[in-house]
Amino acid sequence: MTENTGVRLGAAPGSRGRTTIADVVVEKIAGMAARDVRGVYALGSGFARSMGTVRERIPGAGSGKSATRGVSVEVGELQAAIDLEIVVDYGVSITDVAGEVRENVISAVERMAGRQVVEVNIMVSDVKLPDEEDEGEERPRIR
């Protein structure tokens, strides 16, 4: 009597085994794709960005900006759902920016992670005004 192990002789090597993708991988892909859209100033709320700036200044607390700030995902074996919190530049069409973000994020996640994106929910939490200083940017002491 022989046992069927599920491995087909002659099956392509790429189909032998299982690939698992961690949530953080999809978060990073989505975050980078969202940032690539013109009109997106930043990801995350003002508080999250402020805390990130503080964290960046602490030695050993992380390297640079967090690629996952403002991004949360649910990833299954075949599908993913993504929530983004963004800050847009003043003067851009928020609906146009949101549409471009959705397209870019869906395209990147489906291409790179092989997961069907069932939804991309976007919350616009702020607008970056031209005369506002960047958060975390220190004012010069002498002018």
- Note the pTM of the prediction, 2 decimals: 0.74
Helix, strand, coil % (nearest 5) of the chain?
A: 35, 25, 45
- pLDDT band at residue 120, thresholds of 50, 70 and 90? very high
- pLDDT band at residue 65, thresholds of 50, 70 and 90? low
Q: Among residues 95, 35, 18, 108, which one has the least CA distance to residue 69? A: 35
pLDDT digits (tens, 9 = 90+) for 84-115: 999 999 999 999 999 999 999 999 999 999 99
Q: State the Cα–Cα distance between residues 75 and 79, nearest whole angstrom.
A: 6
Unique residue bearing structure tokens 């506002």:
132
> What number of H helices and E strands is found in the chain?
3, 4
Q: State the Cα–Cα distance between residues 103 and 59, nearest whole angstrom.
A: 37
Q: Among residues 142, 138, 140, which one has the least CA distance to residue 56? A: 138
